[in-house]
Amino acid sequence: MTDRRDNPSDEDSPSGEDSLIARYFRPLATDPGAFDLGDDAAVLQALGDDIVVTTDAIVEGVHFLAIDPPDSIARKALRVNLSDLAAKGATPAGFVLTLALRSADHAWLASFARGLAEDIDLFGCPLLGGDTVSTPGPLMISITAFGRVPGGKMVRRNGAKPGDRVVVTGTIGDAVLGLDSLKGGAVATALAGDAAANQMLVGRYRVPQPRSALAKAVRDHAHAAMDVSDGLAGDLAKLCAASGVSAAIDAQSIPFSAAAAALLARGTVGVEALVSGGDDYEILCAIPEACFEIFARDADLAGVAVTSIGTVIAGASPPRFLDGQGREIALARRSYSHF
């Protein structure tokens, strides 16, 4: 994994990279399969399960801001992956971490490692290894996470059937409002006198809440699932396209936080911005009508709020979002896209 090329600092301190790894990451790699980060690779025991694999990179200036606290950057890097595992019905099994750093900033690394350590414990997802490289460009953190499901049980995007309920966890649109606030946009102005709401929204942008507690209920009941990372409207369109169906969404039943609902009522933002902004990291799933009650009960026991927002219908057109009068809300934009 190492490519030292002609790094001049290597001669002065040949163990710079190794000591950085030993100092900040070895203490976190307590799983026996990580071999104290003293080998070329780690072992993840299959234990008869399917191993679900997912990867997500986050880049400074794109997924987080340079001013974000390093511990929250670490949490976000891990949690966006845990969100994918949860949506697939998988239990976290471990992850590897690739860091591209401009410099070895010790205060930054200490805070980053602290945030990571806390989430490793919180979600029971051990650090198995990684790679550490230097970059002249923006900071990049890439995590590949592994999860477990019983053989053949990973929940795909492609199983939604007409008549299924469209269900989402948590609330939609908070993170995009938090980002707007951090950037000094209209939300920052509107919430100038409401520090608590502002802090909640910024927190939703900086530290996603992966719905890991819902993984088993998703695995047990969902026909199809995915996590909402690029905007509810666009991600629902992806799920519908993969399943060969369409959907009718009652916009009034989409769960918004009190802060988001207030900004909507004041006209600071429109529904479109909330359903097409990214970074929600909620689970979107299709639940057969007959299972909805028991799914809702399992979700309740897991402590995860779930809301039915519409119905899967036959057809190939993109999902329609309907207002209180049943009129379609035109969506010029459905999701965040990098290109």
Alpha-carbon distance of 284 to 157, in angstroms, equals 10
E-strand spans in the chain? 50-59, 91-101, 127-134, 140-149, 165-169, 224-228, 246-250, 282-287, 306-313, 320-322
Question: Of the ranges 36-44, 51-59, 63-71, 313-321, which one interacts with ligand ADP (CB under 6 A)?
Answer: 36-44
Q: Which does 46 bind (CB under 5 to 8 A by kind): ligand ADP, Mg ion, none?
A: none
When binding is defined by CB under 6 A, the residue of 39, 194, 323, 328 that contacts ligand ADP is 39
The residue length of the chain stands at 339
Please state the closest distance from residue 26 (CB atom) to ligand ADP, in A. 8
Residues 6 or more apart from 113 whose CB is under 8 A from it?
A: 24, 25, 27, 28, 74
Q: Which does 239 bind (CB under 5 to 8 A by kind): ligand ADP, Mg ion, none?
A: none
Q: Which is nearer to Mg ion, 99 or 154 (CB)?
A: 99
Q: Quick count: other Cβ atoms within 10 Å of Cβ 128?
A: 23
Q: Which is nearer to Mg ion, 98 or 212 (CB)?
A: 98
Please count the residues of this chain forming the interface with ligand ADP, following the rule CB under 6 A. 14
Alpha-carbon distance of 206 to 75, in angstroms, equals 8
Please state the closest distance from residue 14 (CB atom) to Mg ion, in A. 13
When binding is defined by CB under 6 A, the residue of 6, 40, 193, 339 that contacts ligand ADP is 40
Please state the closest distance from residue 38 (CB atom) to ligand ADP, in A. 7
CA triplet 69, 38, 56: central angle to 5 degrees? 40
Q: Does 286 bind ligand ADP (CB under 6 A)?
A: no
For residues 169 and 214, is the Cβ–Cβ distance under 8 A?
Answer: yes
Binders of ligand ADP among residues 68 to 97 (CB under 6 A) are: 97
Q: Does 146 bind ligand ADP (CB under 6 A)?
A: no
Please count the residues of this chain forming the interface with Mg ion, following the rule CB under 5 A. 3
Please state the closest distance from residue 1 (CB atom) to Mg ion, in A. 4
Please state the closest distance from residue 151 (CB atom) to ligand ADP, in A. 28
Q: Does 1 bind Mg ion (CB under 5 A)?
A: yes
Which is nearest to 52 in space by CA: 264, 262, 249, 219?
Answer: 219
Alpha-carbon distance of 13 to 29, in angstroms, equals 24
φ/ψ (deg, to 5) at 5? 45, -135
Q: Which is nearer to Mg ion, 139 or 232 (CB)?
A: 139
Alpha-carbon distance of 136 to 130, in angstroms, equals 20
Q: Which does 130 bind (CB under 5 to 8 A by kind): ligand ADP, Mg ion, none?
A: ligand ADP
Binders of Mg ion among residues 99 to 158 (CB under 5 A) are: 131
Alpha-carbon distance of 32 to 78, in angstroms, equals 20
Question: Of the ranges 78-86, 123-131, 162-170, 267-275, which one interacts with ligand ADP (CB under 6 A)?
Answer: 123-131
3, 229, 276 from 256: Cα distances, Å: 47, 16, 13
Structural Rg of the chain based on CA atoms: 21
Residue nearest Mg ion, CB atom distance: 2
Crossing angle of helices 258-266 and 174-182, in 10° steps, is 70
Please state the closest distance from residue 105 (CB atom) to Mg ion, in A. 18
Please state the closest distance from residue 158 (CB atom) to ligand ADP, in A. 34
Binding residues for ligand ADP (CB under 6 A): 1-2, 21, 25, 37, 39-40, 97, 99, 127, 129-132
Binding residues for Mg ion (CB under 5 A): 1-2, 131
